[in-house]
A = this chain, B = another copy of it.
Amino acid sequence: MNGLLTDLYELTMAAGYFAAGKTEEKATFEFTLRRLPPHRNFILAAGLPQVVDYLLNLSFTADEIAYLRRLPQFSLAPDAFFDYLARFRFTGDLFAAPEGTPLFAGEPFLTIRAPIIEAQIPETYVLAAVGFQSMIATKAARAVEAAAGRDVVEFGTRRAHTPEAGVLGGRAAYIGGCAGTSNTLTGYRFGVPVMGTAGHSWVMSFCSEKKAFRQLQRVLGESAVQLIDTYEPLEGARVAAQGGAPLAGVRLDSGDFLTLSRQVRQILDEAGLPEARIMATGDLDEYRIRELVNAGAPIDMFGVGTSLATSADAPSLSAVYKLVEMEISGIHRFTAKYSQDKPSYPGAKQVFRAATRDVIARSGECGNGEALLRPVILGGQLVEPLPTLSQARQRASECLAKLPPALRQLEAGEPWPVIFSRELRDLIDRTRHNLLP
């Protein structure tokens, strides 16, 4: 399953490793970020369960193998390679930082150690799966920080890069601190609270706003949130308020949120509906939320769509998955890349997080603080159940609370100190000396 969900070059390399007799050589690859995106002080790790599912189920069907055989790139590949693919299973190890851990440039999010073909093929999937969810979880954490205690709800599936990406985006946003998502499948699959009541089409499908609002109250009861801007928002607020209870609240989807929210609050209060909440949706992001919160807008809940579902100001991470170590018959060879501006560093690593800094060390070194990379899969078997999604969300919240306040702000602050251990520095120097003249 999913054997072809990868870049072709992973599979041509697999054929090459096979032909070169490397099937028994163990390789260690690590996922790191070259740098943090603009305006980001950390990236929250997310997407690990999807990587685990992928690795534990990775295989090739007969049809998929037949497809590869027909490609010109495999015309010289031996039959034995395709037999190997037919039996393919991931038998290696996965070490990873738990979901919800904030990480910094150069730190491994995860490490895969396996016979080189098994470690190579997952590159594409791992980069996309962890890169995407980590990016969205981080974007969510920014909006939640800006909302200063008010609820933020993820409403962006319609702008997600495919509907299916919306499902995982809603999951990642929850890790980042969102109160819920509009994506129903995210709720069904992952237990994330789901939210949503009615859109403009609901209002337009009735002959009057009043009929639409009354009918919504009958159907949704205490969950009813009236969308008041289809025609004129203050008139909409009055019509909603005249309906009395039950009314969870009203939603503004356009216009000047600061002015409108104050006027709507007054309408609701004067109608004896102080418990009715005001929700704002439409072109919101963390900066706009901060402005509204700082201006004292009486908005109780922010629904964030496009900017969150696409991480609009930073829609990708500079994630890489680099070979750092080979092991043949117990002998280790360290690998690194010295191309311009895109170096990689040799050796399997561990990250130790202490109160004031992180130390990237060689795997097996002792260190102070929390060792962030933990065994997840060993010998192709899951070591123990992964933390639940709620635990991941809790971890994100607790880890972020421990960072200096400047690093939780929306602007780039003084970077969290991340240094290499002496042993790792020595390895880097020796490897460079070996590899370069």
> Could you tell me which A residues sit within 8 Å of B by CB distance?
4-13, 15-17, 19-20, 22, 25, 27, 29, 64, 67-68, 71-73, 75-77, 116, 120, 123-125, 127-129, 131-132, 155, 157-169, 182-185, 187-188, 194-202, 204-207, 215-216, 218-223, 229-233, 253-255, 282, 306, 309-312, 315-317, 319, 321-323, 326, 333, 335-342, 344, 435-436
Contact = CB atoms under 8 A, between A and B. Distances in A.
Contacts of A336: 204
A196 B344 CA distance: 22
Contacts of A7: 155, 157-158, 182-184, 196
Contacts of A124: 157-158, 163, 166, 182-183
B233 A12 contact: no
Contacts of A128: 157-163, 165-166
Nearest to A313: B315
Contacts of A159: 127-128, 131, 316-317
Q: Which of A11, A185, A319, A339 has the most CB of B within 10 A?
A: A339
A319 B305 CA distance: 13
Nearest to A129: B163
29 contacts: A5-B185, A6-B185, A9-B199, A10-B199, A12-B196, A12-B198, A13-B201, A15-B219, A20-B206, A27-B205, A67-B188, A76-B218, A123-B201, A124-B163, A128-B159, A128-B161, A128-B166, A132-B160, A161-B162, A161-B310, A164-B164, A230-B337, A232-B436, A233-B339, A253-B339, A306-B316, A309-B316, A312-B315, A315-B315
A11 B188 CA distance: 13
Contacts of A233: 339
Nearest to A344: B200
B205 A116 contact: yes
Given A188-B67, A218-B76, A337-B230, A202 B16 contact: yes
Nearest to A324: B204
Given A195-B8, A323-B200, A339 B160 contact: no
Given A7-B196, A16-B216, A306-B316, A204 B323 contact: yes
